[in-house]
Structure 1
Amino acid sequence: MTIPQDITRLQSEVNAAVREHWKAFLIEGILLVILGLAAIIVPPLASLAVTIFLGWMFLISGIAGLALTFWARQMPGFWWSLLSAALAIGAGLILLAMPVQGALTLTIVVGAYFLAEGVATIMYSLEHRRELSERWSWLLVAGIMDLLIAAIIITGLPGSALWAVGLLVGINLLFGGITLIGMALAARKG
C-alpha cells in the first residue's frame, strides 16, 4: 500500500468511528457548553476550580515522579529528578493550601503568556508582510488582541485574578463544546 492509500483508509476509518459514536460526541459537546457557560457566568468559582485541579495534578505527578525516581535511583540525573519531583509536590501543596493566591499567580502567568504571544504573533505577521503574504494583517490583529488581553489582565491585577482564568477556561470549554456538537450533528447526517 502507498502512503496516500493509507491516509485515505485512516480518514475513512476515523469518519466511520465518528459517525458510529456521534451521540457520545454530542453529549460531550453539550456538557462542555454547560460547563463553559457556568465558568463564564461564575468566573471566580471556575478560577478556583482550575487552581485546585492544577494543585492536585502537580501533587499527583510529583508523588509519582518521586516514587519513580527512587525506583530508578541508579539512573543518571537522580538528584535533578528528585528536585523536579519535590518542586511538583511543593507547587501542588501550595496551590491546594492557598488556592486564592494560586489563582493570582496563575493569572500573572496567563497575562505574561498573552503578552509574549502577542509580541511573537506581531513579529510573525511582519515577517509574512515581507513575503507579500495576504494573511499578515490577520496575524497582526491576533497579536494586537493578545496584547490587549494581556493589558486588561495585568493592569487589572489583583482583581483580574478573580475572573481571568475562569473566564478564559469557560470560553475555551464553550467553543470546544460547540465544535463537538457541530461535528456530531454533521456526522449524524453523513
Structure 2
Amino acid sequence: MTPIDRSQGVAPAGDVHAAWGWFVALGAAFIILGLIAGSHLLLATMVTVYYLGASMMVAGALQVAQSFRLTRWTGFLLWLLSGILYVIAGVMTLMNPTLASSVLTLLLALFTAASGIMRIWLGAGAMSERGWGWVVASGILSTAVGLIFLLGWPVNSSWLLGLVLSVDLIFQGGTLAGLGFRLRSET
C-alpha cells in the first residue's frame, strides 16, 4: 500500500469509507428534494429559470469586471460586449421567466434530439466494435425523447424543466446513497 500525500488534497480511502453515512444522508436529501420538485413542477421550473437568470447576470458582471483588467488587450471590446450581453440576457430571463422557460424548453428538446441523432450516427459508424448497438439504442431513445419534447412545445414549457430537475435530483440521490451503502459494505 502506498502512502497518500495529504498536501495534494487527496483523502485516504479510509476517510471516504468512514464517511459512508454522509453519502447516504446526502443521497436521501437529494431524493427528497427531487420528490418535492416533482410535486411542484411549475415552481421547480420557475426556480430553475430564476437560478439560470441570476447566474447569467453574475457571470456577465464578472466578465465585464474582468474586461477592465484587460483594457490593452485587442479583444477588450468584444470581451466587454460579451459580458454586457450576458448580463442583459440574465436580466431578460428574470423579467420574463415564462418566455425564458419556453425558449429553454425548446433548446432542451432540440439538443436532446440532436444528441440522439449524433449517437445513432456514431454507433452506426462503429458497427465493427462491441457494444455499438447500445450506442444506437441510446441514440434512438434520446431522439424519441427530444421529439416528444418538441411535439409538446410550448405547452410543456411550464413544467418540463421542473421535471428534468426532479428526475436529475432523484437519480443523483440514488447514486449517492448507493455509493454510501457500497462504501459501508467495504469497511
TM-score under structure 2 length normalisation: 0.89
**Residues 161/81 of structure 1: CA separation in 2 closer, same or farther (3 Å cut):** same
Cα deviation, residue 14, structure 1: 5.0
Residue 85 (1) aligns with residue 83 (2): yes
Query: Percent identity over the alignment?
Result: 27
* Structure 1 spans left out of the alignment, 5+ residues: none
One-letter code of the match for 1:137? Answer: G
TM-score under structure 1 length normalisation: 0.88
Once the two structures are superposed, residues 53-112 of structure 1 have per-residue CA deviations (whole angstroms, 9 ceiling, x without a partner) of 000100011111111111321223101111110111011101111111111111011011
Cα deviation, residue 16, structure 1: 2.4
One-letter code of the match for 1:65? Answer: Q
Query: What root-mean-square deviation, in Å, do the aligned CA atoms of Structure 1 and Structure 2 show?
Result: 2.1
Whether the 8 Å contact between 1:18 and 1:184 is mirrored in structure 2 is no
Q: Give the whole-Å Cα distance in 2 for the aligned partners of 1:52 and 1:139.
A: 35
* Structure 2 spans left out of the alignment, 5+ residues: none
Residue from 49, 54, 57 that aligns with 1:56: 54
Residue 25 (1) aligns with residue 26 (2): no
Residue from 168, 180, 183 that aligns with 1:184: 180
Q: For residue 147 of structure 2, what is the aligned residue in structure 1?
A: 151
Q: Give the whole-Å Cα distance in 1 for the aligned partners of 2:121 and 2:3.
A: 38
SS in 2 for 1:67: helix
Cα deviation, residue 41, structure 1: 2.4
Whether the 8 Å contact between 1:33 and 1:173 is mirrored in structure 2 is yes
SS in 2 for 1:74: coil
Cα deviation, residue 21, structure 1: 2.2
